[in-house]
Amino acid sequence: MSYTPRDDRYESMKYVRCGRSGLKLPLVSLGLWHNFGGEGASSALENGRLMVRRAFDLGITHFDLANNYGPPPGSAELHFGKILADDFRSHRDEMVISSKAGYLMWPGPYGEWGSKKYLVASLDQSLERMGLDYVDIFYSHRPDPETPLEETMGALDLVVRQGKALYAGISNYKPAEARQAIQILRRLGTPCLIHQPSYSMLNRWVEEELLDLLASEGVGCIAFSPLARGQLTDRYLQGIPSDSRAASGSVALKPEQITDQLREKVRRLERVARKRGESIARMALAWVLRTGKVTSVLVGASKVSQVEDCARVTASAPFSGEELAEIEAALAG
């Protein structure tokens, strides 16, 4: 069935300027880390198609991938490329599409980390899989302890100058590494647009230094795993569903991480969310966005209803001091 986007798709979403750049990102972005891969899996492709369509109808214009997303590696980009070709050929200029390289993608000494050879080759492969001439953002997915940072950042500068990417970004960089990377890119003449760190109620390391660093340097921040890979939802309150990420054997979430202590924290958080008139997932996203230091939250989804719930964070009310205190008490408990 052909797809025609809704005419009102930009009316409810909020768009935030990314650092000191001219690019605006939607408050909610869709990540294709899980649930978009699978070799020959037509059901995964069609479910992914439904989620991308619904996301775009809700004003979500940013779609985030990486070379190794799947599983198997590369399959998420292949599926997304098919969706682009079939449904979004005439809407490419309304979309922000990002990819990354840094984790293991192919065997041998040139298939991971941060060398110029790997990063440039990986981006070429990603563009071919997605049928694109360029991505909007290309990230160094993780710092390489053995490759000079000047080489890794030089590769990002190169692909931008080649027109294969419009902007450069970094992901999973600690504050000291991020500061150095930002300074190198500035000297090269390709400013660092954005940093993609993990951040959620259960994972708050960025609050110690990174968020202030990015704000002072004029670099945007997009938080991945803001729902702690599904832990900050009602998904696991009654056990581990057979169709859940924790039950699938995924490296992203192990069954032993769903402890009684975690469930009690989530139940207490859910009571706060209920009083706010929203799901715990939506409240968790609003909490990550509460200070204005995060440009966008990067959410994953396995069904359309999850995309819809996350997009409603644009209507979430600001937190009262009492609500924030209740949340802190629940997390400490």
What is the Cα 195 distance to its own chain's centre?
11
- What beta strand segments (E) does 102-249 contain? 135-140, 165-171, 192-196, 220-224
Looking at residue 166, its pLDDT comes to 98
- Counting beta carbons within 10 angstroms of the beta carbon of residue 294, is it exposed (0 to 12), middle (13 to 18) or buried (19 or more)? buried
Looking at residue 252, its pLDDT comes to 61
- What beta strand segments (E) does the chain contain? 15-17, 24-26, 28-31, 62-64, 96-101, 135-140, 165-171, 192-196, 220-224, 296-299
Q: How far apart are CA 217 and CA 173, in angstroms?
A: 15
Residue 145: CATH number of its domain: 3.20.20.100
Nearest CA-CA partner of 51 in 68, 31, 65? 31
Q: Let me know if residue 255 belongs to a domain.
A: no
Nearest CA-CA partner of 198 in 233, 174, 168, 234? 174
Q: How far apart are CA 298 and CA 62, in angstroms?
A: 9
Q: What is the widest separation between alpha-carbon atoms in the chain?
A: 54
Q: Let me know if residue 110 belongs to a domain.
A: yes
**Nearest-5° Cα angle at 140, 135 to 86:** 25
Strand-pair category, 96-101 with 62-64? parallel
Handedness of CA 165, 12, 282, 240 (dihedral sign): negative
Q: Let me know if residue 169 belongs to a domain.
A: yes
Q: Let me know if residue 180 belongs to a domain.
A: yes
Helical ranges in 28-148 per DSSP H: 42-57, 75-87, 116-130
Residue 228 lies in domain = 15-234+281-315
Per-residue pLDDT of the chain (333 residues; tens, 9 = 90+): 689 999 999 999 999 999 999 999 999 999 999 878 876 557 789 999 999 999 999 999 999 999 999 989 999 999 999 999 999 999 999 999 999 999 999 999 999 999 999 999 999 999 999 999 999 999 999 999 999 999 999 999 999 999 999 999 999 999 999 999 999 999 999 999 999 999 999 999 999 999 999 999 999 999 999 999 889 988 766 656 555 555 455 656 566 766 788 889 999 999 999 999 999 999 999 999 999 999 999 999 999 999 999 999 999 999 999 999 999 999 997
Rounded to 5 degrees, what are φ and ψ at 318?
-60, 155
- The total domain count for the chain is 1
Classify residue 239 as left (phi > 0), alpha (psi -120 to 50) or beta. Answer: left
Q: Let me know if residue 154 belongs to a domain.
A: yes
Q: Let me know if residue 185 belongs to a domain.
A: yes
Q: Let me know if residue 266 belongs to a domain.
A: no
Return the SS3 of 118: helix
Q: How far apart are CA 309 and CA 296, in angstroms?
A: 16
Nearest CA-CA partner of 289 in 304, 277, 299, 301? 299
Rg of the Cα trace of the chain?
A: 19
What is the Cα 36 distance to its own chain's centre?
14
Return the SS3 of 200: strand
Nearest CA-CA partner of 227 in 298, 172, 315, 312? 298
- Global pTM reads 0.94
Q: Let me know if residue 4 belongs to a domain.
A: no
